[in-house]
Amino acid sequence: MEFQRKQILNQSEVTGEFLFGLSPDGLLLSTRPALSRITGWTSSDCIGKTLRNFVHIRDVFRIRKALVKASKGDSTSLEDVRFLQQCGQYSYLHLSFIPRFFDGRLIEIICLGLESSQPGLANSITPEQSQIIQFLETLLANSPVGFCFLDTELRYVCVNESFASMNGFAPDQHLGKTIREITPEQALLLEPVFQKVLETGEPRLNVEIRFHFARNNNGIEHGLGNFYAVRGSDGRVVGVGGMVSDFTEHKRSDQTIRKLVLDLKRSNEELERFGAIASHDLREPLRTISLFVSLFKINNEMSLDRESLEHLSLISEGTQRMTVLIEDLIRFSKLGAVRPEKKLVDLNTIMEQTLFNLTVAIEESHAVITYDPMPSIEGDSGQLLQLFQNLFANAMKFAKKKVAPKIHVSLTIEPTEFHFSVKDNGIGFKPEDAQQIFEVFRQLHKKSEYSGSGLGLATCKAVVTAHKGRIWAESKLGKGSTFHFTLARKASETHDSKT
């Protein structure tokens, strides 16, 4: 074997001392004393490691190209390769790579080397710079983010441990191989991406990559890659560099969220169907009861005693309350199932329409309702109308006896939201009940004293929540109440207020 090596060297036009023998993928198979004399490394330091462990990261690409060329049977030389010495500095070497074949099969690449003839060139990198370079290389090697570099033929020139583990192979197994050879399942996606980077020089960002989960055995199934053009000293694109991070948990969370959204959509559709069914099937028996009670009362009013007539009146009132409750419940359920149709809404118009809808109640209670100039907001006009209508109706219902209700809506403009306060002079409530009043079917008073379904304020909370706002109440028993709620300002308004 040694004789064959000497024959090859004698026949070759290249010169230099025999430093080491390499496998086609850059693994050091053997070394010679000249390597130790020039660099300080011993045979045991080198054998079994790849050449990229000993050359500067900026020369890795040149080495890789030379090895690929030698693997094809062509001898090649490189000048001023920065080769790491054992002392931590770099020697500048002139390296020649000569392929050795046996029976038509490449078995070794012989590397010859000469120290650079330029005086002082080897010491152009200071010990401090060398330490920084080593630190960066260590950081790159141990980073949880996968790094890779491919040449213009889309062959891997270098990869770190994280990237290699994502693919399920050792780093050295990547070198000199194409994507199609290492991960054929990714070639269809990544080859066009890399070709685009090489052709345009523009980066491709946030590329989702699916890894062979069973092969890599590290729990990484999805990756997110950013790929950039790598340029040489003359500005030409010489390869593609990539960073790939573990995207598995995010992807799984996203899939879980999508499933939950679909489940919620189906649930809302079922709720809407239930509402339609309930609207008909529950109302129909009530209409029948109400109709027959009315007919029975008309036909038998002269023959019934007072107590019987009172019983019939209670049945009629009960069916009416049940009808109102069903309508309110259906309306409330739709608030959670349907997204508000947000458009620019002038709340002054909403106020005018609310007062018009409550005309009869306002006249009967002699209520006085005033409000500050209102803004325009992004929202659902129907839901906002319901919000103010319920708050005003609630204030009039819980007014003090023989005292005309006074209701005022004030506005405070905050940096990112509008703060509304609806203040009344009604009977109020205990401060400890401030949270309960927004609960569904929650009523603080007996039904015999105040009618209602217990859904009015719950509806207000649902509307405000749907508009990304907050609602709360302040009160003291006998001293009126103030209902506060917030609604978001338009993005353009919040920007203008900051500038």
DSSP string, 220-274: --EEEEEEEEEE-TTS-EEEEEEEEEE-HHHHHHHHHHHHHHHHHHHHHHHHHHH
The topology under which CATH files domain 2-123 is Beta-Lactamase (3.30.450)
User: In the prediction, which pLDDT does 435 show?
Assistant: 79
- Residue ranges of domains in the chain: 2-123, 143-246, 260-337, 343-498
- Domain 143-246 top-level CATH class: alpha beta
The per-residue pLDDT for range 392-404, each reduced to its tens digit, is 988 988 888 888 9
Asked whether the domain spanning 143-246 has the same topology as the one spanning 2-123, the reply is yes
Question: Which top CATH class is 260-337?
Answer: mainly alpha
pLDDT (mean) for 159-164: 86
Q: Which residue has the higher pLDDT, 333 or 368?
A: 368
Q: Does position 74 have pLDDT exceeding 70, yes or no?
A: yes
- Report the candidate in 7, 12, 32 with the shortest Cα–Cα distance to residue 20: 32
Token match 């010679």: residue? Answer: 32
Q: How far is CA 150 from the centre of its chain?
A: 29
Q: Is 182 helix (H, G, I), strand (E, B) or coil?
A: helix
Is it the case that residue 66 has pLDDT exceeding 80? yes
Q: What is the CATH number of domain 343-498?
A: 3.30.565.10
pLDDT tens for residues 330-349?
666 666 555 667 789 999 99
**pLDDT at residue 408, as a whole number:** 95
The yes-or-no verdict on residue 497 having pLDDT over 50 is no
State how beta strands 481-488 and 343-346 pair.
unpaired
Report long-range pairs for 77-84 (Cβ below 8 Å, ≥24 apart).
77/14, 79/116, 80/116, 80/118, 80/121, 81/55, 81/56, 82/55, 82/56, 82/58, 82/125, 83/38, 83/39, 83/54, 83/55, 83/56, 83/113, 84/39, 84/54, 84/55, 84/56
Instruction: Count CB-CB contacts under 10 A for residue 7.
Output: 11
Q: Is the pLDDT of residue 186 over 60?
A: yes
Q: Which of 48-52, 139-143, 407-411, 470-474 has the lowest mean pLDDT?
A: 139-143
